[in-house]
Amino acid sequence: MTSQLKRAGLISLLALAFLSGCNPAASFWAIVMPAATSLPTPTRFEITDTPTPTEQTTNTPTFTPTPTFTPEPTETPTLTPEPTIAYVQTGPGTVNIPVLLYHHVVASNPSHSRYSVDVEQFTAEMSYLKEQGYQTINVSDMTEAVLSGKELPSRPVVITFDDGDVDIFQNAFPVLSALGYTATMYLITSAVDASGYLTRDMVLELAHSGWEIGSHSITHTDLLKSKNDLGEICDSRTRLQQEFNLPINSFAYPYGVANYHTMQTAHDCGYTSGAGLGMWITQSPDRIYYFYRREVEGHFSLDNFTALLVNPP
Ligand SMILES: [Zn+2]
């Protein structure tokens, strides 16, 4: 495991990637990413904190009432059937699953901010996914498929949001819910309930609607410069678990900045994956602590967006 993380760390340090900021003032960095074809041989990580499923007791019915009256049906409702989602065994090992990253979804984006898409653009992108037969899965579904193998929808896609901005609840959540989609939200723990960010109740509503909650550190600091990187990574997980009583399995590195040490720390703190940045949709066990995410920028054309769903030529 250690050698795998070292290799992944060296790859991250050597390779070219977008270091995306999570605010408009963030600087635009570049790191190197390897070609998908040069990914090292997949190796499984040891997952030590898999929760034990709770056994469900099924009660045997002891009494069946006999109906005494059968009403005549008066009208046959016309139902629009949901298309059946085909599930296929996916993984373990390297899989192609696009992971998309958004920050803000806003009513309008007149300043053409890179980090904000407007509702019209977001709705068009999600509708395109639906029309093309994509079904959302959460980050932990992807992680489980890569590490252990899992039955997933035949065209899976992961939608992630960083920072926990309130506009995601207001503008993105309704669009996703209408399509039967969920997403993974990475929270800055110190920002919950702060102005402009999700409230605690909003986070719980997302979680109860099937969204996964992950950590995006306590203060959104550059972990390579922070003197409290251990706290930012580990304590943020503990806080979220205690605050929301939810499994917190994934960590998103602020600004996409990570090295061997931060990835090792994420592993040691009990996360099963780490969200990074990159140009690929190929996800593999040796990169699960810096899996590729592709950022959707404000005012992308639909062609720009659809190009994110496949590896670059
Ligand atoms: Zn961020």
Query: pLDDT of 252-277, one tens digit each?
Result: 999 999 999 999 999 999 999 999 99
Return d(Cα 118, Cα 125) in angstroms, integer: 11
Distance 252 CA to ligand 1 centre (A): 8
Q: How far is the CA of 21 from the centre of ligand 1 (A)?
A: 6
Q: Which residue has better confidence, 188 or 63?
A: 188
Q: What would the two tokens of residue 261 be? A: 């040490």
**Residue 84 confidence (pLDDT):** 78
Q: What is the pLDDT of residue 23?
A: 42
- Please determine, for residue 75, whether its predicted confidence score (pLDDT) is greater than 70: no
Beta strand 99-102 pairing with 156-163? parallel
Contacts of 50 by beta carbon, 8 Å cutoff, 6+ apart:
none
Distance (Å) from CA 1 to ligand 1 centroid: 27
Can you tell me the distance from the alpha carbon of 171 to that of 185, in angstroms, rounded to the nearest whole number?
14
Judge contact between 191 and 197, C-beta under 8 A: yes
The rounded distance, in Å, linking the Cα atoms of 184 and 8 is: 23
| β-sheet bridge partners, residue 164 | none
Q: Which fold has domain 2-33+88-300?
A: TIM Barrel (3.20.20)
Distance (Å) from CA 308 to ligand 1 centroid: 20
Torsion from C-alpha of 280, 92, 125, 205, nearest 10 degrees:
-120
Task: Find the 161 Cα to ligand 1 centroid distance in Å.
Answer: 9
Place of tokens 């997933």: 152
Q: How far is the CA of 102 from the centre of ligand 1 (A)?
A: 10
pTM: predicted TM-score of the whole model, two decimal places: 0.78
Q: What is the pLDDT of residue 85?
A: 85
Using the mean position of ligand 1's atoms as its centre, give its distance from the Cα of residue 185 in Å: 11
Separation between Cα atoms, residue 133 and residue 128, nearest integer Å: 9
Taking the centre of ligand 1 as the mean of its atom positions, its distance from the CA of residue 187, in whole angstroms, is: 8
15 CA distance to ligand 1 middle (Å): 21
User: Ligand 1 centre from 4 Cα, in Å?
Assistant: 26
Ligand 1 centroid–CA 310 distance in Å is 24
State the distance from the centre of ligand 1 to the C-alpha of 49, rounded, in angstroms: 26
Nearest CA among 192, 190, 208, 269 for reference residue 234:
269
Q: Give me the pLDDT at residue 61, please.
A: 34
Q: Region of 4 please: left (phi>0), alpha (psi -120 to 50) or beta.
A: alpha
Q: Distance, CA 192 to ligand 1 centroid (Å)?
A: 13
State the pLDDT at residue 112.
82
Q: Report the SS3 class of residue 185.
A: strand
Q: How far is the CA of 284 from the centre of ligand 1 (A)?
A: 23
Cβ–Cβ under 8 Å, residues 250 and 282: no
